[in-house]
Structure 1
């Protein structure tokens, strides 16, 4: 590498930096709940059509107002009513449902009369209200808690409300609640969750970036103890992160719950590649190479191996594209490309820096090098002499871990990413425990016989069977459907008797048809279509996790197939909760499918470059070990497969395979020098072994920075990837040399043929 070539590489890097500086448009943060749906999924397409017909099922805010010992206090109820009236006036609020303004209809021969469901106009009226509501009925657990201590307001906001409008509306509602003199309240819902997630993302991004910067500087100082040897590599790493982030923003990307992890991950990977380059450079200086030749040897011998490691790491991230989940897909794409940007920063900026600044070498480094050689030499002898026993240990542990991994279940929750003690998560948990739940449940209904309508009595009977099953299967409370209107009219015709809140007999149903038709025409209920050929069941359920949720969905499907007459009623489960449960269930399959594709690409790339499929398979085998072992650890720690843990395997494989590539590259170079197989393997173990130990320490500790996160997805990524990289180091140091030893004769024969071909070439 001449100084002139290094200079022109520097010019290219500066030009790219200037381009990104001028295209910089500021950081953008986003948390869209629907980014975790399976893109291109038939159920997602159906739901998008469904909500255009009815409404979005999660555009609501749950507001619980509490009082001890119960809510039956006239002052409390009056303040709650004033608060409800104020909330109704806010822009973006479409409807507020509560018991405070609800009227019970009574139908008599003289017409329809309305009576307030709650009356606190006098102590006697309040006492009667308390007695009526405490006896149970359709509102228990739905709009009033079973312990009578909380009153629920369901605030339906504008459909598909934007982030800024949603934040503004939530702030207005929260201010109104705080000023209402009602100190005991709980709030949960989409507009709150979305706002708090974005705020948390901004905090996490700052935390990750700050910790990563401090950690990189400390490690560089510990390794090189020179101001320029700390500052210049740090600038190179920051430049790679800047290029990757600028590319993301320039192509319309936004920082979400996944992409906030990109900067520290790229810093870790960049520092790892940097250490490989600098370790080779220092070794050349210790071998008495002049600085220029040391830089030339570094670029010649390491550019290809480091590019291969960057490529395989990138492929690991890019394998997430196969998940079909928007957030995971673009995290994989942008981080995979970011790794290549980091490689570009290293090969364009590092050679110039090493040529211009003083060499990295000191007597202390040489003392430590001798210590490394002594320790690694002893380890190498043990590995070679105990090869068969080591292989047996790895196989047995892997089989046991593989069995444990097969027992890990897939399970996830709606607000998984939040820490357990986060106020928002606690409020969601409160609604699951105190009311029907916080998780929307939607079922699409369509008349099977075109000659019938949704209000045909036979269809109503099928809906009733379905509602009863849903109530038991999902442990829901109040259910809204076309049958709700029928049951309400029947109750009204029976003077408000709660026992009459049911589907009447066919004769009774015929008598209520005229009243029902008038009510259908006079009210805009979003529970059936205008042509009355389709409808919906809408309810709230507890977030019991996708593992149990998926079992509930399968039971519903089985019930519909066996018990519901499809000629009368056709049923399809839909909604955001169903789609999230499905994403959790399928993401593991998708990740491992993508990982299989990454395995194939890695074998293909290494096989073509090294002209050996055996070498490619040898490089792959030790890197399956950390994935299986991490799966076993997940079982022992009772960690489930879900969106926040499945990605670990793709990331870990892409990075872990790097050490094997460096080891094989070094072995090939030593053999090309004419050394015997045993000597080449020993030299490789001593030199590359040191480098992969250092890079594993760097990578593992770097990923552990993510363990300081309050986001579950970042915490699992940091801890489990760090653990996987440690397992990969163990496999590469203790098992890879043994596997290569098994192929000694073939490798020697192949190397001899290559050397002979080179000798025949004209000089």
Structure 2
């Protein structure tokens, strides 16, 4: 610690304690008052790449064809579905859902136009349609008719005719797309390094704020409508089984579980802090000091988040708990050091003991904080805004934890002045580090050999790592969202939407060699009895501009694509223009429509059928078609990347499309892009993180050899857990993918503390083995106490219903345990075997003398 800083501690903290305490409390209270502005971002946009080009295309498609803001409500009545009783219950449920203020439209079996394929005619289609709630309907025949319509099977009704689904389309804000378009224009200028005027910069800030408020409104809307529908379910418990599903439901439950984890994890860590501190130190003052520092850090950090308007998301949901753990780690090191000072320097005054504790721990704690900052700073290379914000939050939080620990510890020690050595008989728990010292001394080569084998196995396991594939795996099997997704997948066509947009250019080459025929001759050839000349003229006039997809050749291609997409095992219901036209083809005697009939159909089709069959899947103006695929989240074979690769291969090699002719979009694409980006930015850049930490080790330890030896135990700990996940087939997800950064950031603290103390003990004792035993009897205990608390804290997450949180807690705890063992066995073994301090003991002694001074 610099002399000027030590003098500040002596003059203000130790001599004018109350004045300093009042000023600090006033500052903390001012910042903490903004905790009310702390919020959690519950929008689905928090799970996608902010600068993803696919996001811009996705929004363009949603603006044209409609959004993913809909919920599925599955209904499986106890009575047969196609009975008067069940139809009445279904209609009642549908009407109640439609009456909800946040529901715009509802699609259900009640609203579906039905026809008998054997009796309907294309010429009289308007009169041949009927609805299931019409009077005098033969429900047995209606069931047969509905199940014979391919479009309805696995969409509105299961193939066995026992389960149906209601699709509730939620009200959106028409301003969203307009505001987003305006923001994207300004962002585009910034990306292309075009300067923004002061007006444009302010406009950009205002647009971000408005969009944030809209996102909050959407999150509140989802919460309201999901709560209301769940309340409606209670009235139907005796008549059938109802589940909810859909993208808003997944996002809502995900955020809801994470909010619960915030409370569980925070309270769990707090309770464990009290319990472990009471067990380890057995004095009230240490508990009060530790919890005091942790509480102040938490309140202040939450206040800062409120001031800066940094929302917590799924990815950063453990921010507060991590800060509690990091603060606690710093304070425990100070407590253990103070107790050692009390034992070794009994003649010192109370103030001098505090000052000695602070000054001797300042350098190692400063470096541990810096290395932790570097580890979390690696998150900022991501393209995902919530991940970047998480990195910034942790950089701010770790810096704050360091300042508060080194400011509040001496203040609280002075305000609660009490000295005296602890007198208790140490049990096996407290002598654990001494036992590890004996094992390390006796089994040096064995420890090194085990570490090498673990490293090789870990590297092999890491090669099998993959990102997660299925939303359904995020939730325990007994949760409603899991059960609902299972029913929707198996009975009603799948959950997650994947969309494919195919442009006009994909089919233009097919028509390049076709000679244009006389429109008059074509209409004469295709003219059929029952159609008036005016109908034909109107159809011809409307089709002056050739619509290539709405030709018999185009429809044949669409059917070919439809058949392929339906043949993929992990895809459920595939909706498209081809699927919709299957209804008309059924009416036409299961024959494909001619060019004339297709042109006429666009004019004659009833409006309600047009909204279901044509409009969502065909953009007439641009002659562009859309396929909507519902992917089965519950299929264990689901691999998003492989699915996209298979479809692309079919389009390029079988359909002869160029890669510019078709585009993938939908939430499946956006979420997959986020995971792929996170995988690349975090896993593949770990080498950069280790490089920076290695450089910091070299600066701190002033020895390349010592720095390299210090890195190896941390590599073992982080890689072991990632390798274990690879071997066990557990994919990385948006939370577990940060385990490496977090475990490294916390584990290197132990390395720094151990090596820093080892240098001091070696300079004092002049013997490696004696220095090792001395370290295991002093600093190793602080490492042990902090690690046990950290491990216990993360293990609280096993109580969650959110599987990524459970995996995050289990594997982070395991990573910390392995890192602790590595730092207390492998690290001293490496020091004993390589003896990196032997040649420069004089310089070491001079450095440590300066540090102690």
**In structure 2, how many angstroms separate the alpha carbons of the residues matched to 1:569 and 1:328?**
31
Pick from 540, 548, 553 the counterpart of residue 458 of structure 1: 553
- Give me the whole-angstrom Cα distance separating, in 2, the residues matched to 1:592 and 1:169: 39
Matched, 1:277 2:334: yes
Deviations 1:149-169 (A, max 9, x none): 112222222247712223333
Q: Which residue of 1 aligns with 2:139?
A: 126
C-alpha deviation, 1:459, in angstroms: 3.1
- The 5 Å alignment of 1:52-451 reads 52-56=63-67, 58-68=68-78, 70-104=80-114, 106-109=120-123, 112-118=126-132, 121-122=135-136, 125-134=138-147, 137-159=150-172, 162-176=218-232, 178-179=234-235, 182-287=239-344, 288=346, 289-365=348-424, 367-368=425-426, 379-448=436-505
Whether 2:48 is the aligned partner of 1:37: answer yes
Q: Please tell me whether residue 25 in structure 1 is matched to residue 36 in structure 2.
A: yes
Deviations 1:124-151 (A, max 9, x none): x222223334557432222111221112
1:557 is displaced (CA, Å) by: 1.0
Residues 274 and 144 from structure 1, CA distance in 2 versus in 1: closer, same or farther, beyond 3 angstroms? same
- Structure 1's 382 and 211: CA in aligned 2 closer, same or farther, altered over 3 A? closer
Give the CA deviation at 1:602.
Answer: 1.0
Root-mean-square deviation (CA), in Å? 3.2
Match of 1:661 in 2: 752
State the SS of the aligned residue for 1:436.
coil
Contact 1:236/1:349 (CA < 8 Å) preserved in 2? yes
Residue 778 of structure 2 aligns to a residue whose secondary structure is helix
How many angstroms apart in 2 are the aligned matches of 1:647 and 1:759? 39
Quote how far apart the aligned CAs of 1:21 are.
3.0
Greater mean deviation of Cα atoms: 446-455 or 704-713:
446-455
1:735 to 2:792 alignment = no
CA drift at 1:436 = 0.8
Measured at CA, do residues 584 and 382 of structure 1 come closer, stay the same or move farther in structure 2, by a change above 3 Å?
same
Q: Per-residue CA shift, 1:661-720, capped at 9, x if unaligned?
A: 001111233345574445434423332222212222122112212222222222222211
SS in 1 for 2:166: strand
Give the Cα separation in 2 of the matches to 1:616 and 1:539. Answer: 53
Whether contact under 8 Å (1:322, 1:593) holds in the other structure is no
Deviation at residue 232 of structure 1 after TM alignment: 2.7
Match of 2:602 among 507, 516, 520: 516
* Residue 593 (str. 1) matches residue 603 (str. 2): no
Helix, strand or coil at the partner of 2:351: helix
| Contact in 1 for aligned 2:265/2:321 (Cα 8 Å) | yes
Written as runs of structure 1 = structure 2, the 5 A alignment for 1:414-563 is 414-448=471-505, 453-474=548-569, 476=571, 478-494=573-589, 499-500=590-591, 503-504=592-593, 508-519=594-605, 523=610, 525-543=615-633, 544=635, 548-563=639-654
Secondary structure (helix, strand or coil) at the match of 1:643 reads coil
For the 8 Å contact 2:70–2:168, the answer to whether it is kept is yes
Taking the aligned partners of 1:487 and 1:585, their CA distance within structure 2 comes to 37
CA distance in 2, matches of 1:625, 1:437: 41
Is the 8 Å Cα contact of residues 447 and 459 (structure 1) preserved in structure 2?
no
SS in 1 for 2:39: coil
Query: For 1:356 and 1:203, how far apart are their aligned partners in 2?
Result: 36
Quote the residue 2:60 is aligned against. Answer: 49
Distance 1:16 1:463, change over 3 A: farther
- Find out whether 1:726 has 2:817 as its counterpart: yes
- Whole-angstrom CA distance in 2 between matches of 1:202 and 1:509: 56
After TM superposition, list the pairs within 5 Å mapping 1:533-682 onto structure 2: 533-543=623-633, 544=635, 548-566=639-657, 570-635=661-726, 637-673=728-764, 675-682=766-773
Measure, in 2, the Cα distance between the counterparts of 1:756 and 1:128: 96
Shift of 1:216: 1.2
**Contact 1:412–1:643 at 8 Å: present in 2 too?**
no
Distance 2:726 2:495 in 1: 29
Distance in 2, matches of 1:136 and 1:514, equals 22
**Which has the larger displacement, 69-78 or 127-136?**
127-136
CA contact (8 A) 1:706 1:715 kept: yes
- Change in 2 beyond 3 A, CA 1:410/1:194: closer
> More displaced, 585-594 or 193-202?
193-202
What do residues 448-490 of structure 1 show as CA deviations (whole Å, max 9, x unaligned)?
A: 1677643244333332222111111255454332334543333
Give the direction of change, closer, same or farther, for the CA distance of 1:208–1:352 in structure 2 (3 Å limit): same
Task: Give distance in 2, aligned partners of 1:61 and 1:748.
Answer: 69
TM-superposition CA deviations, 1:91-137 (whole Å, max 9, x none): 343332223222247445567424215366347x2222233345574
Q: Assess if the C-alpha contact under 8 Å between 1:546 and 1:584 holds in 2.
A: no
Deviations along 1:560-615, one digit per CA (max 9) or x if unpaired, are 11012337992222110222234334433322134333212211222223333322
Aligned to 1:25, the other structure's residue is in SS state helix
Contact between 1:457 and 1:509, CA under 8 Å: does it hold in 2? yes
Alpha-carbon separation, structure 1, partners of 2:113 and 2:606: 17
Q: 1:258: Cα distance to partner?
A: 3.6
Which whole-Å CA distance do the structure 2 matches of 1:370 and 1:197 have between them? 42
Q: Residue 350 of structure 1: CA displacement?
A: 0.5
Q: Check 1:358–1:222 CA distance in 2 against 1; reply closer, same or farther (3 A cut).
A: farther
Provide the rounded CA distance (Å) in 2 between the counterparts of 1:4 and 1:536. 73
Q: How many residues align?
A: 747
Deviation at 1:274, TM superposition (A): 1.0
Cα distance in 1 for partners of 2:329, 2:419 equals 17
Worse-superposed segment, 159-168 or 289-298? 159-168
Partner of 2:842: 752
| Cα distance between partner residues in 1 of 2:472 and 2:380 | 23
Deviation per CA, 1:327-376: give whole Å up to 9, x if none: 333333313421221111101110122234334543525x5399967x75
Where 1:254 maps in the other structure, the secondary structure is coil
**Are 2:350 and 2:419, in contact at CA under 8 Å, matched by a contact in 1?**
no
In 2, the alpha carbon distance for the partners of 1:594 and 1:205 equals 29
Alpha-carbon spacing, 1:478–1:114, altered in 2? closer, same or farther (3 Å): farther
TM-score, length-scaled by structure 2 = 0.81
CA contact (8 A) 2:32 2:304 kept: no
Question: Gapped runs of 5+ residues in structure 2?
Answer: 1-5, 174-216, 509-545
How far apart are residue 71 of structure 1 and its match?
A: 0.8
SS in 1 for 2:669: helix
